[in-house]
Amino acid sequence: DADVTQTPRNRITKTGKRIMLECSQTKGHDRMYWYRQDPGLGLRLIYYSFDVKDINKGEISDGYSVSRQAQAKFSLSLESAIPNQTALYFCATSGGPGEQYFGPGTRLTVT
Amino acid sequence: RKEVEQDPGPFNVPEGATVAFNCTYSNSASQSFFWYRQDCRKEPKLLMSVYSSGNEDGRFTAQLNRASQYISLLIRDSKLSDSATYLCVVSTDGGFNKFYFGSGTKLNVKP
């Protein structure tokens, strides 16, 4: 089984809908991250969390919220999806300096 | 200005060739540096960390030039399996919390 899993893997939704992307990990890491990847822009950090009581905004948090339900679970929500949130979303964990373990990604399309 | 800049490529090289990628970063306070590899439509995976003195891992050599704020990756004896996008990643806090990703350099190794 994969160490970092994301659900759903693909999602098409309409403008204005609320959507939640979920991430689970079995690596026992405290640090978890949400990124989005757009062509030509690389991965950009949305939110990160050191533990269940610590949530921090990344460089592009507007329009997103997160919930750290447990050490192993970190969810990303789009309260009212808009087309420019169409992207590939990655969850990642980190147990030490430098190395991040990524989930397989969620491809989100907002029409 | 982007935190991390890379030539997007693609670099098209024959098997057995030596190829080098560069990456520049804008924050002189950056402390930790990494190269990740990302296959098409897959998650990024750590290739190697970049140390001040330079480091080598098999056919891969990474170098850091702090004065000029650039990082390089050299691949010798390219294999077909090296075809991927190579992401330059910089951390300003020792690699613990926040990572800045370049948009990647695409490598195509041809038979």
Chain segment B36-91, per-residue pLDDT in tens: 999 998 999 999 999 888 899 999 999 999 999 999 999 999 999 999 999 999 98
B48 membership: H or E segment, kind and range: strand B45-50
Record: contact B97-A48, CB cut-off 8 A: yes
Integer-rounded Cα radius of gyration of chain A: 13
Local mean pLDDT, 10-residue blocks, chain A (111 residues): 90 97 95 92 91 91 96 96 96 85 96 96
pLDDT of res. B53: 87
Q: How far apart are CA B78 and CA B83, in angstroms?
A: 9
Q: Which two tokens stand for residue A85?
A: 């949130």
Q: Which two tokens stand for residue A82?
A: 């808009």
Q: Which two tokens stand for residue A52?
A: 């269940």
**Band of the pLDDT at B95, cuts 50, 70, 90?**
low
For residue B78, give every residue at least 6 positions away whose Cβ sits within 8 Å of its Cβ, in sequence order, or none: B13, B14, B15, B16, B17, B18, B19, B107, B109
Alpha carbon distances (Å) from A108 to A24, A49, A80, B52, B81: 18, 22, 13, 39, 28
pLDDT of res. B92: 80
Q: Which two tokens stand for residue B55?
A: 């480091």
On whether any CB of chain B is under 8 Å from the CB of A68, the answer is no
pLDDT of res. A40: 79
Is B100's pLDDT higher than 60?
Answer: yes
CA A53 to the chain's CA centroid: 17
pLDDT of res. B10: 94
Substitution target in A35, A37, A47, A101 with the highest count of B β-carbons within 10 Å is A37
Q: Which of B41, B98, B104 sits opposite A42 (nearest CB)?
A: B104
pLDDT of res. A103: 97
pLDDT of res. A43: 92
CA distance B31 to chain A (A): 11
Record: contact B43-A90, CB cut-off 8 A: yes
The count of CB pairs under 8 A between chains A and B is: 54
Which residues of B make CB contacts under 8 Å with A? 4, 8, 32, 34, 41-46, 49, 87, 91, 94-104
- The answer to whether the CB of B110 falls within 8 A of the CB of B16 is no
For residue B14, give every residue at least 6 positions away whose Cβ sits within 8 Å of its Cβ, in sequence order, or none: B78, B109, B110, B111
